[in-house]
Structure formats: structure tokens, C-alpha cells
Amino acid sequence: MSQQSAAALSPTAAKVVPSEIALVADMIQRARRAMAVLADASQTRVDEAVTALAWSIYREDHAQELAELAVADTGLGNVPDKVRKNQRKTFGTLRDLLRARTVGVIEELPEKGLVKYAKPVGVVGAVCPSTNPAATTVNKAMMALKGANAVVIAPSPAGSGTTRRTCDLMRAELKKIGLPEDLVQCLPDPVTKEMTQALLELSDLAVVTGSQDNVRRAYRSGTPAIGVGAGNVPVIIDTSADLDQAARLICQSKTFDNATSCSAENALVIVDAVYDRAIAALQRAGGFMASAAEKKQIQDVLWAGGRLNRHVIAKDADVFARACGLPQAALACKFFMVEEGGVGKAYPFSGEKLSLALAVYRARDIDAAILRVQEILNYQGMGHSCGIHTRDLATPRRIAERLNVVRVLVNQAHCVGNGGSFDNGLGFTLTMGCGTWAKNSISENLSYQHFINITHLSTVIPEDLPSEEALFGAHWSRYGH
């Protein structure tokens, strides 16, 4: 494990006053002492710790309390959906974690003479976002402790009250089962960039969800780091799609927690042959189609001053409609569609909107739709994910082969399924890697596997030595010696 000292901190972290540096260093040392208690723990004991953390937020009263606190703290999302997120994501993650081995021997391959042993990675420095200040905090802590690690959380300043309360609840559950509370800690208020940087540099593994600035600083910290890319999900509606089903799923996904999820649809690309019927289905599902003038009103309000307006992002539909000056009919709608024709900075609706606004594109055919999706991702959201509604399952395979994305979802409510679902095979998580396309170190959903080191015990096996002819024969016959 790394035993970095305050003296080893970067110039960025060195801006922290000495008392703050000492505070972070002390938290790291307390985390190491707490980890020592798990050094000889059985898989059963580690799983008890993970289950305790899950229960701390899954409990009905705690799920409700943390959801209410998150909305009050950040002004983002809505309470009912945050309750569902706190419980559903935690329950699914617990299911995945309890099915895995992370202590001692985790795999034996006698035919290869290999035995694999899991070991902790160390103290995890976890940066958590304001969009999910409770659910992401518990999610990362569960994965960290599954590997017999300790975790120190750096909350977003906007959600720090919620994250701190979440950590208090986790610590109380650990104490209840006789484990050190310091297996989970939270940076104290006021949380600064410099203090967070100190945590990133003193920890053994940095795991960052949130702003791309934090992700980049984690990768520059000198500590092994896992960060995620920006979302901006485009979804295709193909000619063979069940249009009403697609509309219901898109509405369910787009409106969940008022579009705080990076996996919520930000653009629809509809093939021309079904465009009008698809729009009608989306309107039946609760969508409002803005006129050209109303699109301008939405743009002026949503990007007031050239940046996303915190007074309208992730707000309830009626709040959004009133703020944008939309007509009375819009107040009864659930999300708001604007027709878009271009991609890039000159077309702000082509980027992530963190709101109930949804860009709609018309594509000549499925090939044009796929090209448009890649164009959108090239502008923003590279590597993250995309989706399609279709009955032709050959088309999703073409998308998966051609596009540089980690996840392609077929006939699903995107934000519900992208981070794992009970009816798909993706692992439950709130942290989704986007591959090197987004300059991320992982191209999959964050899981327990990223929180363990593996020792490989190798013994002699019967020699596996092919002939030269077996390896070079095809090359020689085609190109000569």
C-alpha cells in the first residue's frame, strides 16, 4: 500500500493549509487502522459489512430521509424517484456483491496451474456527485468494503449535507455489527478542491464520479484512478419499433429523478418513415413538442448566460414549463421536445441538458440515424452509451460493431437499465466507465472487481508448446518464409 505523506502532495494540494493536510492524512491513517481489522476476515464477515452498508440506505425511513435531504440540499431531482434509486440501486448492487468472492482464493484453474487470491487495494478516495449524493456514496462504499478496503468520501459541496448524513448512517451500521466506523469516513465541511486533491493523492485508489474537472484531476494525481465520462445519450427509434412502447420507456427514463442521470436520453434520432407517428406516440406518453419560437424560449432560459441554468435543470416539469414561458398546455406535460437539425456548440440542444428537455432529430434511414448518433457522441458523451427501439435485432448488432460506445441498450428505459437492471445482464452501479474514448481507465460498469488486487499462484503444468508449423504455417503458405 502507498504510505504517501503530506510532503509528497502536488502543488495543487499544497495550497491546503497545513491543518487541512494533516486532517486528510490523519483520516487516511485511521482508515488503514480500520482496514487492519478486516485483514483476516472471512468472506462471510466482509459480506456482513457490505450488507450493513446496504441496509443503512435501504431502510424505508432512511431512504426517505436521504431523498428529502438530497432534494433540499441540491435542488435537483425529486423525492419519490430518489427513494426508488436509493433502494433499487442498493438492492441490485447487494445482489451482485453477495454472489462474488473477494476474500482468499477466488478462482482455481488447475488446467493452467493457477490459483487466484484476492487482496485489498487499500484506502479508497471516492469523489461523489451532487446529482446522487446518497446513492452513489453507498454504492462506492459497498464496493470498496467488498474488497476489504476502507473508503474516505469527498462529497460535492452542493450535496455535502446529504453525503455526510449518509456516511453517518453507514458508520452507525458498522458499529452495530462490531466493525470500526472508520472503514467509512467523509471529508468535513467546508469541502474544498484542495482538500479533495489531497485525498486523491494520499489514497491508494481514486474513484471519481461527477465533474470532468474532478475526473481529470484524479488521473493527474499520481494515484491509480477510475473516472467516468460525460453522458449525452442518443437513442434511435427505428421503423420496426413498437412506437407506443418506445414512447412509454423514453418518458419513464427521461423523467426519472427529473433527468439527473447521466444515462437519461438527451436526443432521439427518429427514422423518417415513422417520424410523425413516433412524435404522436411521444405526445401521448406525455411529451410536449415545442414550436420554433418556444424552442428559442427554452434555449434562452436553459442556457442563461451561456451555461446551464441551475434554476431550471433537474426541476419538475411544471416548474420548467413556467420558467421557459411555455403555454398552459405544456404545464400538464412530463417532458419537452425540440426539433434539432445540427450538432455542436452552435446547437446547444445537441449536448447534455440535465433537464426535461429532449432534442429530436429526423434521419433519412437507419444508416443516417447511426451516423447522427455517432456525430452526437463525438460532440459530447463519447464512449458512454446509446440505445435503440426496434424489432429488428440485427440493427443493434450493427450499432455495437460500428459505434465507439461501452453500452448499447435495446428496447429499454435507458437510465433505468444502463447502470444495471434486474432484466438485463449489466452490473448494478452508479459509476459507468466510458473507455479510452472518454479518457477513462475502464470500459464497463464499476464493480467489486475494480476494488481488489489479485495474486496469481502459478505451478508447473504439462508443457504447452506448439510447433513452428502450427503457429507460422498459414503465414508461410501465404507469404513465404
The set of catalytic residues is 262
| Cell matching residue 25 | 492524512
46, 101, 123 from 43: Cα distances, Å: 5, 7, 19
Asked whether 37 and 179 are in contact (CB, 8 A), the reply is: yes
> Phi first, then psi: what are they for 390, rounded to 5°?
-165, 155
Between CA 134 and CA 56 the distance in angstroms is: 11
Between CA 72 and CA 261 the distance in angstroms is: 18
Asked whether 242 and 274 are in contact (CB, 8 A), the reply is: no
465 C-beta neighbours (distance < 10 Å), count:
6
43, 100, 102 from 106: Cα distances, Å: 10, 8, 6
Classify 134 as helix, strand or coil.
coil
Using left for φ > 0, alpha for ψ between -120 and 50, and beta otherwise, residue 223 falls in: beta
Asked whether 274 and 241 are in contact (CB, 8 A), the reply is: yes
Buried b (16+ CB within 10 A) or exposed e, 347-382: ebbbbbbbbbbbbbbbbeebeebbebbbbbbebbbb
Between CA 235 and CA 265 the distance in angstroms is: 7
Q: Give the CA dihedral 156, 159, 161, 163, nearest 10 degrees.
A: -70
Residue 429 DSSP symbol: -
58, 139, 169, 281, 416 from 151: Cα distances, Å: 20, 11, 14, 46, 27
Between CA 59 and CA 49 the distance in angstroms is: 16
Between CA 395 and CA 57 the distance in angstroms is: 40
